[in-house]
Amino acid sequence: KRKEILPNPDCHPADVTFKHKSANLESSSQTGAQGGSVAKALLSDGSFHVRAVTRNPRKRAARELARLGAEVVKADLERPESLRVALGGASAIFLVTDYWELGDKEREVAQGKTVGDLAKKLGVRHVVFSGLEDVSRLTGGRLQVSHFDGKGEVERHLRHIGLPATCLRMASYFENFIEHFRPQPEGGGRGGYRLGECEIPMADIPMDGMSVEDLGPVVVTILKNRSEYVGKDIGLSAERLTVQQYAEVLSRQLNRSVRAAEVGTQLSGLVPMLPSLRCFACQSCFFCQLFCCFFPRSPQKNMKSWHFRVPRIWPTCSASTGRGRSAT
């Protein structure tokens, strides 16, 4: 299903007749999904010279980007001297850092600041950063979610140094439901499936989601409309469903009975989890308790304010909600 969606009803993406040079910077294979989505969209557009910066140019994803026409360059976010060469001459940068590989918020922040400072020195005209809300700052320290807070700190640094930047805040990946939180069999599979290896503590409060593959077209639109989006923080969401509704979509698509575990919005009482899953649960609580309850008018993921062409959306979402949702 495809939707015709644009930055606003009166603003069409500008026709670009000159070649941009865009550096697509990712920190590891774990962030390659975002970087790959952006690089492929830029290459498909045809208006950009794409330089894909990676630590391992020999990996399959990097070789595929080279085959599609990208210039693949080796560099490391923790080696500034390699970054200076890799980013030289770039007019725009897409930057995504990875807390999950490092497991260290301070290192992630240092990586983001290093790229920001270097981009400022090199005179890069536009940086698009994949950030997130600073949970600790927004809640006055009541909640701390490291993989959110670090990116929020990087966002503030980019603003502080006066870098022309746009910060994107993605919703939870749809892909999580078939990867990290894929349905688990109950009763040897005879009793159906339960959604996820751990309960997602959202109760009946809707949770934003989107496919990571839809990030690329967003970044293309932003880079083509630089003056409109520099200095903006933009929340992205393609659908807003309860966990039970997501389970119903999976049931229809997989032709299997998938249910959502019955759990509230508190962390207490959850089964023991790996640290990463516990952090995800805290993230979910943050969204439902803070954004959905305390700040229902928060602009971070306003589903009517940001429009673009979405090549893929959550399957049969119109059937599950009664209407289609546009990405924000």
* Topology match between the domains 20-173+211-237 and 177-204+240-321: no
Architecture field, domain 20-173+211-237: 3-Layer(aba) Sandwich (3.40)
**Assigned CATH topology for domain 177-204+240-321:** UDP-galactose 4-epimerase; domain 1 (3.90.25)
Q: Which of 5-14, 72-81, 201-210 has the lowest mean pLDDT?
A: 5-14
Residues listed for the chain: 328
SS3 content of the chain, % helix, strand, coil (to 5): 45, 20, 40
Sheet of strand 126-131: strand arrangement: 71-74, 48-54, 20-26, 92-96, 126-131, 165-170, 233-236
Mean pLDDT of 131-150: 83
Task: For 199-219, write each residue's pLDDT tens digit.
Answer: 666 777 788 888 898 899 999
Task: For 94-135, write each residue's pLDDT tens digit.
Answer: 999 988 777 789 999 999 999 999 999 999 999 999 998 888
Contact, 54 vs 74, CB < 8 A?
A: yes
pLDDT at 147 over 50: yes
Predicted confidence band of residue 191 (pLDDT cuts 50, 70, 90): low
Q: Which two tokens stand for residue 191?
A: 């009793």
Contact, 137 vs 304, CB < 8 A?
A: no
Share of the chain above pLDDT 90, in %: 30
| Of the ranges 92-101, 150-159, 243-252, 296-305, the best mean pLDDT one | 150-159
pLDDT at 195 over 70: yes
Which of the two residues, 258 and 64, has the higher pLDDT score? 64
| Of the ranges 184-188, 243-247, 320-324, the best mean pLDDT one | 243-247
Q: Which of 9-13, 89-93, 195-199 has the lowest mean pLDDT?
A: 9-13
* Amino acid found at 187: G
pLDDT at 246 over 70: yes
Q: What is the number of other CB atoms lying within 10 angstroms of the CB of residue 172?
A: 19
Predicted confidence band of residue 198 (pLDDT cuts 50, 70, 90): low
Q: What is the pTM of this model?
A: 0.76
Question: Which pLDDT belongs to residue 157?
Answer: 97
Q: Which residues pair with 72 in a beta bridge?
A: 52
Give the contacts of 142 (CB within 8 A, at least 6 positions apart): none
pLDDT at 151 over 90: yes
Mean pLDDT of 74-91: 89
Q: Which of 139-148, 156-165, 205-214, 278-287 has the lowest mean pLDDT?
A: 278-287
Mean of all residue pLDDT scores within the chain: 73
Question: Which pLDDT belongs to residue 205?
Answer: 76
Domain positions in the chain are 20-173+211-237, 177-204+240-321
CA–CA gap between residue 97 and residue 61 (Å, rounded): 17
Question: Which pLDDT belongs to residue 7?
Answer: 28
pLDDT at 1 over 50: no
Mean pLDDT of 159-166: 97
pLDDT at 139 over 80: no
pLDDT at 158 over 90: yes
Question: Which pLDDT belongs to residue 117?
Answer: 96
pLDDT at 298 over 50: no
